[in-house]
Amino acid sequence: MTADTRRPCPDRPDRPDRPAAPSPARTTPPPQALAGLRVVEMGQLIAGPFCGKTLGDFGAEVIKIEATGTGDPLRNWRLLKNGTSVWWQVQSRNKRSVALDLRQPEGQDIARRLIAEADVLIENFRPGTLEGWGMAPAQLHVINPGLIILRISGYGQTGPYRDLPGFGVIGEAMGGLRHLTGEPGRVPVRVGVSIGDTLAALHGAIGVLLALYHRQAHGGPGQVIDVALHEAVFNVMESLIPEYSAFGAVREAAGSALPGIAPSNAYPCTDGWVLVAGNGDSIFKRLMQAIGRADLADAPDLAHNAGRVARVDEIDAAIAAWTAPRTVRQVMDSLAAARVPAGKVYTARDIAEDPHYQAREMLLTQTTRDGDTMLAPGIVPKLSATPGRVRHSAPGLGDDTLAVLAEAGLTPQQIALLREKGVIQ
C-alpha cells in the first residue's frame, strides 16, 4: 500500500440489507484487515514496538529499523533463550528487521527512502531526535504527503516538560495511576507490567487507524499523531478529576477494593484469594443468600449501592468469614451456581493450563527462528472476517536488511558499499 491520499473508499453494497453471498470453503487463510499497509517502525523497547506488533498481527507489513551491532534492547530483556529474550519473540513477530546506523548520513538517506514508500511511521524517541536526523514531519511530508507519523514520548511533542526523559513508569506516576495502586498509607506499587507503555501503544494504534480512515475515506492528508505516556494513562483514570473538581475529593489507594462500589474486593480462601464483584443490587441479594446471610440480603438499607458503601466493612467481613474456610474452587462453584461474578487470581501456570484460554485461541504455539517452540499470547481483538494471525516469527538482527534494500531499489553494488562502511548490517 502506498501513501496515495486519493485512494477511494472501500466498496460498499448498494443496499445495506442485501443478504450476503454464502462464503466458499476456504483453502487459504482468510484476508487480514491491514494487509497491504506498510509500516516503518523506528521505536525500541515497548511503546512504539507494541503498537507495531498490534498492526502487524492484523496484516500490516512492519519494517523495523534497528541500530547496527546491538539492535533493540528488548532483545536482551528479562529471560533469554539461546541468547534472545522470549519477550522479543512476542513483541517482534510479524516484523522484518533492517539494521541501520542512523548516525551516518547514508543511514538517514536509507531511512527516508523506506519512509517515502510507507503508509505509517512509528517512533518513540525523545522529541527532537527525528529532527536531528533531518526527518522532521514537515520534511517527511514533502517526500510522502500521505504519511501517518505516530510519535510516542514521555510528555508529548509540546509543553514545558517536552524535553525531559520519560519512561512508562514515570507516565504511570504523572497520569495518576501509581497514587491509587497499593494499600492505603503504603508505598505506591507497580501494576506488575509496563501498563503505561502499552496504554500509549494502544492509543497510538487507535490514532493510526483514525488517521488512515480520514486519509482513505475523506481524501485527507497525512498527519502527525502525538501520544504522551502520561496522557494515555490519564485517559483511563475514570472520574478522578471530575470528583476533585466537583467535591475537592482526592482519591486514595484502596488496596484490592473498588472505592465507592460495594461489595467488590479480594477475599481469602484456604489456598489463595478470590475476587468477588457483588455490587449489582440483585447480585448482592443472591450473594448474601449464597453465603447464608439472609439478614443482609433483606436489609432495606442495603438494597442499593449507597447504603452498602456505608456498611462496606461489615459486608466485607461477612464475605471473608464465609470464604476463609473454603478453597478457591469451592467458592467459585458456589458463586457460579448463585450467578455471582467471581474470579480466581491467575498465575502464569493457571493461564497456560486454562481450558477457556485454549478454547479462545489465546495461547498460541510460536516457533522461533532457532526452531524452538513456546506459548505466546494470542491476538486481540477477535475479528470474524479478517482475523489476526502470526505469519512469521520474530527476526534476528538485520535478517531482512538485504531483501528490504533490494526491494527499495538499491543495487547489489550499493548494498555492498553500505555494508563495507558499516551503515547497514
Domains detected in the chain: 38-236+366-420 (3.40.50.10540), 264-346 (3.30.1540.10)
**Residue scoring higher pLDDT (43 or 276):** 276
Alpha-helical (H) ranges within 175-280 are 195-218, 229-234, 240-247
Residue 392 pLDDT exceeds 80: yes
Name the strands in the sheet holding 38-41, side by side, starting at the edge strand that comes first in the sequence.
95-99, 61-66, 38-41, 120-123, 148-153, 223-228
Region 240-259 average pLDDT: 95
Residue 25 pLDDT exceeds 70: no
Region 261-282 average pLDDT: 96
Of residues 101, 197, 226, 316, which has the active-site annotation? 197
Peptide bond into 49 cis (omega under 30): no
Region 404-425 average pLDDT: 96
Q: How far is CA 346 from CA 91, 264, 273, 279, 357, in A?
A: 22, 17, 10, 22, 12
C-alpha cell at 122: 512509528
Rg for the chain, CA atoms, rounded: 26
Residue type, 242: P
Mean residue pLDDT of the chain comes to: 93
Residue 263 pLDDT exceeds 50: yes
Region 26-32 average pLDDT: 82
- What lies within 8 Å, CB to CB, of 38 at 6+ separation is 1, 2, 60, 61, 63, 117, 118, 119, 120
Neighbour count for residue 223 (Cβ, 10 Å): 17
Residue type, 128: G
pTM of the model: 0.90
Tally the residues of the chain: 425
Pairing of strands 363-367, 373-377: antiparallel
Residue 28: predicted pLDDT: 84
Helix (H, G, I), strand (E, B) or coil at 61: strand
Q: Which of 341, 326, 339 is nearest to 286 (CA)?
A: 339
Region 408-415 average pLDDT: 96
- Residue 51 φ then ψ, to 5°: -65, -45
Measured CA to CA, the distance from residue 103 to residue 65 in angstroms comes to 13
Tens digit of each residue's pLDDT (9 = 90 or more) over 56-84:
999 999 999 999 999 999 999 999 999 99
N-term to C-term CA, the chain: 26
Measured CA to CA, the distance from residue 425 to residue 418 in angstroms comes to 9
Does residue 197 have an active-site annotation?
yes
Residue 5: pLDDT band (50, 70, 90) is: very low
Region 50-60 average pLDDT: 98
Region 388-407 average pLDDT: 97
Residue type, 14: D
Residue 19 pLDDT exceeds 60: no
Residue 188: pLDDT band (50, 70, 90) is: very high
Neighbour count for residue 136 (Cβ, 10 Å): 14
C-alpha cell at 133: 536526523
Region 133-147 average pLDDT: 98
Residue 21 pLDDT exceeds 80: no
